[in-house]
Amino acid sequence: PCPPGTPRKSMQSIPHYLQIKEILLISDQELLPCHVMEHHWKFYVNCKKLPF
């Protein structure tokens, strides 16, 4: 069951003026269990700076 307004759905309507020809998909390594992301999220939110 996909909640309304998920990315999957809206990606299908890309305005033509963006001239999009390809989409960089999300790799498996980017997908984390929620609690793992939460852990890293806290770290970055509490960082003085987001070190790029």
Partner 1 sequence: MAEAGKVASGLGLPGEVSQWPLKRYGRFMLLHTGESPDPGSEADVGSSPTWKVFESSEETGPLVLTIVVSGHFFISQGQTLLEGFSLIGSKSWLKIVRREDCLLFGTTIKSRSRMFRVQFSGESKEEALAHCCSCVKTLAQYITVQEPDSTFQQLQQSPGPLQ
Task: Catalog residues that contact partner 1 under the rule CB under 8 A.
Answer: 2-7, 9-11, 13-15, 17-24, 26-27, 29-41, 44-47, 49-50, 52
Tokens of 16: 């033509």
Tokens of 36: 């793992």
Where is 19: in which H helix or E strand? none
- Round to whole Å and give the CA distance between 49 and 19: 34
